[in-house]
Amino acid sequence: MLSDKSRPVIEATLPLVGSRIGAITPKFYQRLFAEHPELLDGVFSRSNQRSGNQQQALAGSIAAFATHLVNNPGTLPETVLSRIAHRHASLGITEPQYQVVYEHLFAAIADDLAEVITPEIAEAWTEVYWLMADALIKLEKALYAGQANDKMWMPWRVAAKTPAGAGSMTFTLEPADATPVTPALPGQYISVKVVLPDGLRQVRQYSLSGETGTSRSFTTKIDDGGEVSPVLHRSVQVGDILEISNPYGEITLKDGDGPVVLASAGIGCTPTASILRSLAEAGSDRQVLVLHAESTLDNWALRSQMTDDVERLDGAELQLWLEQPEAGAKPGFMSLREVDLPADASLYLCGPLPFMKNIRNEAISAGIPATRIHYEVFGPDIWLAS
């Protein structure tokens, strides 16, 4: 809870700090990596630093947290914090690193706002930072404690590489040592650490796309301009060892018997395919509506798996949109205005950010409460900053 002393200060300075935070965060990262270059080796994404996505995500999360404290005294933005905590845990973020971040972030704030910042303002924003940091530390400790092991990275062997649509590949892994395996939930992801040609280690999160439990398989679409996916597709071979994390992610299938809507676009079908597979494996009698949008039929990465699972479920229906339409598919882009949504449905959503924003807005307009709309973001969550 934000103190009575700090609340008016934050309320008064939030517009200024909010307007400058997008300029402050790049300065923060410059300071951070100048002092701790090791954080770019296996923790922070070099690509996201170059694109500015990481800076944008950090700025958005700080602004959203401070705004929530001002507008909702006595509460914390649990959904935002949970998403960040799962992402941090998948990277192995530890409590001491929050002090390192604090030092360099507030040095960047002091530098950018040197003409206006006062000890009172600095104290109030320090309180905001540590409220957020302490909440995340608590959540992350609980996530670590819930795993079947106390390791961050474990060796898993590539058992199979299977083409999955044009430009996509499914990697099936098996344990390479005796480390206890945490059962994964449908919709969760793992972090995968890859050594790049220049020797730098980089980490990416990939949704588990097939059976979950103690199995591990993920599907990735190659990005020719990226750093990690080309190495996975072209250099990693069957029999090679990959370092992966325990499973994380809070966007998982909720218990219940109500209707489920799975909406995805492109490679965003990976978490929804995992949820669909779990429903099929369980012989669920829930009403399931699978919605997918793709550029072409050949590009649909998990087409066979998803269509087979829809066929296995008596209460499942598939609707497909293609930019280059073929028989049996709707032309163009997905729109919920064309869909008869089940009453009391829960919506699980994954795909490019503009797609998810549009579908979420349409779902709310159609009467689905925001609390029953669950979305997964690949990479930094820049939704908060946009």
The catalytic position among 98, 129, 206, 348 is 98
- Decide the pairing of beta strands 216-221 and 168-175: antiparallel
Residues 133, 141 contacting (CB under 8 angstroms): no
> C-alpha 271: how far from its chain's center?
11
Q: CA-to-CA distance for 211 and 185, rounded, in angstroms? A: 9
What are residue 203's DSSP bridge partners? Answer: 193
Dihedral angle over CA of 128, 133, 139, 143, nearest 10? 160
The catalytic position among 29, 127, 129, 140 is 140
Q: Tell me, yes or no, if 174 is annotated catalytic.
A: no
Q: CA-to-CA distance for 304 and 302, rounded, in angstroms? A: 6
Look up residue 184 and give its DSSP letter: B
Q: Tell me, yes or no, if 144 is annotated catalytic.
A: no
Q: Tell which residue, 260, 305, 298, 302, has the closest CA to residue 281.
A: 305
Residues 47, 229 contacting (CB under 8 angstroms): no
Residues 290, 272 contacting (CB under 8 angstroms): yes
Residues marked as catalytic = 98, 140
